[in-house]
Structure 1
Amino acid sequence: MTRMAARLGSLLLGLLISGFLTASPAPAREPYALIYNGPTADQASTEAISSVVQQLGLTVRYIANLDDLPTQLGDARVFIIGGTDDDVEPLLQRFTPALRTTLKTYLSQGGRYLGICGGAYLASLGWPEEDRFVEGLALVPAQSDGYDQDFEAKIYPVTWLGETRQMYYQAGPSFALAESPESVTRLAYFEDRQLAALMSTFGAGKVAVSGPHPEAPDSWRAEALKGDQMDRNIDLALQLLRELLSDRPVK
């Protein structure tokens, strides 16, 4: 072999090795649920939702500072905000116009959002507050309002997909649907037929909201009026999250 041939062979070998290394796929990122646990988040609700998420095999990542949302949201399977303090407006105000755009872009491109109680208020079109109307994030085509205007924890009968369950409730919303091109599934009703939970599309994404707490563990019975009547409803929370994460269309 001549020196020129040897050099060409070495060059070709180097190019092949370089091309192989460059073409190697990046390791797949582990799917995760992004759960808000910052100011105004209720720790017990956050922990209960985290437990449900982990039962589905998803890794949990927490976000306390919403300024980090743009860097954390893109690879998340779902963004979750659970129960909050009684006054949810301080959290709503943390969603700057830029953060609202980030969240809505994520959803419109196929992302998922789950809001329970306080997180459901946030996702709504808004709610009445004394002599004014508070505009929400408008992730679902529904206005929200306090179901019983009482901050005491209690157990209410809720008909969820046709089955009546005794569910933990504390100052969560009911919903009134507005006209929208988005598809909506009515998931649950309170005893007086006010809407208690729903799922809707948001572009290519999905959003689910619930006034009552299907994720409530058995330990919450002690905190609620008539707590001994509470059913174990974690199966509903699992079902809700599975459906939210699925590719099945909202009807």
Structure 2
Amino acid sequence: MRGADRPLALVYRGRATLPGCAESVAELLRRSRWNFDVRYVGPRERLPLTVDVLAGAALYAQPGGGTLRPAWRRMRPYDEALRDFVAAGGRYLGFCLGGYLAGATPGFDLLPGDTDRYISSKAATVHSARPTVVAVDWRHRRRHMYFQDGAVFRVDRYAPGLDVIATYPNGEIAALATDYGNGRVAAVGPHPEADRDWFADADLSRPADDTRDAGLELVDAVMIRHER
């Protein structure tokens, strides 16, 4: 399960995501400083998403994908296993749809609160579910990221271990990390993992800054648990 004692990172790939999403998350994890052994997990992968497979992992990543409720129907059978994995000390990393699934209505209920659509929030700067670029304040620096109907995170700002990593221009939370049991959860509404192909495929002008460094910061935020 592990490669030369490297920590195992599992990336979901299946019908609850879209082509390219899992691969971009896997590439981000391979670029991180954590020297992960990155494997795909899912119904048609060599590794199934089971309690035993999760037990050998340091991190589980849920990529972006389609719409929430169809994805939840496919992911609901893994609900308890994923919650138990994180509560026991594992890490959950969610991008866009994976961020929504970290919430509760519906989702894995891993957050000290819930999620909602940014495009429906008050004073949102984006109003369409079509792919676009959104501005966020990421670690107090303005960044421009690929975005497609991503989440806001409505959480208890005094929750244990909460780290608000990024906000949208209207002040809503765009990315966070927080404790869950003995583990940790990080979730993001936009797509810091997006490479140039994402922008080309959506016929979007790519921002001058490559935001994958922000994605690496998100990985660090979920892996490092600060003692209270």
TM range (shorter): 0.7 to 0.9
Q: SS where residue 21 of structure 2 aligns?
A: helix
State the 4+ residue runs in structure 1 displaced beyond 6 angstroms: none
Q: From the superposition, tell whether residues 227 and 95 of structure 1 become closer, same or farther in structure 2 (CA, over 3 Å).
A: same
State the identity as a percent. 29
Task: Check conservation: 1:78, 1:111, Cα contact below 8 A.
Answer: yes
Task: Check conservation: 1:168, 1:224, Cα contact below 8 A.
Answer: no
Task: Check conservation: 1:36, 1:63, Cα contact below 8 A.
Answer: yes
Please, which of 188, 194, 219 is the counterpart of residue 241 of structure 1?
219
Q: From the superposition, tell whether residues 138 and 182 of structure 1 become closer, same or farther in structure 2 (CA, over 3 Å).
A: farther
Task: Check conservation: 1:116, 1:210, Cα contact below 8 A.
Answer: yes
Give the equivalent residue in structure 1 for 2:7: 31
Task: Check conservation: 1:34, 1:60, Cα contact below 8 A.
Answer: yes
Structure 1 or 2, whichever has the larger Rg, is 1
Q: State the aligned residue count.
A: 214
Please, which of 188, 192, 196 is the counterpart of residue 218 of structure 1?
196
Output the amino acid matched with 2:20. A
Output the amino acid matched with 1:120. G
Q: From the superposition, tell whether residues 44 and 239 of structure 1 become closer, same or farther in structure 2 (CA, over 3 Å).
A: same
Task: Check conservation: 1:154, 1:227, Cα contact below 8 A.
Answer: no
Whether 1:78 aligns to 2:59 is yes
Give the distance between the partners of 2:16 and 2:112, measured in 1 at CA.
24
Give the equivalent residue in structure 1 for 2:79: 100
Select the structure that is richer in helix.
1
Whether 1:190 aligns to 2:174 is no
Give the equivalent residue in structure 1 for 2:71: 91
Whether 1:139 aligns to 2:118 is no
Give the equivalent residue in structure 2 for 1:4: none
Give the distance between the partners of 2:129 and 2:31, measured in 1 at CA.
30
Q: From the superposition, tell whether residues 225 and 197 of structure 1 become closer, same or farther in structure 2 (CA, over 3 Å).
A: farther
Whether 1:45 aligns to 2:24 is no
Deviations 1:61-101 (A, max 9, x none): 1112296321211111100011111x22223123446x322
Using the TM superposition, give the Cα deviation of residue 227 of structure 1 relative to its aligned residue in structure 2, in angstroms. 2.4
Task: Check conservation: 2:159, 2:178, Cα contact below 8 A.
Answer: no
Structure 1's unaligned 5+ residue stretches are 1-26, 127-134
Deviations 1:126-185 (A, max 9, x none): 2xxxxxxxx321111132111115221111110011011011101111111147753311
Q: From the superposition, tell whether residues 247 and 44 of structure 1 become closer, same or farther in structure 2 (CA, over 3 Å).
A: same
Q: SS where residue 228 of structure 1 aligns?
A: coil
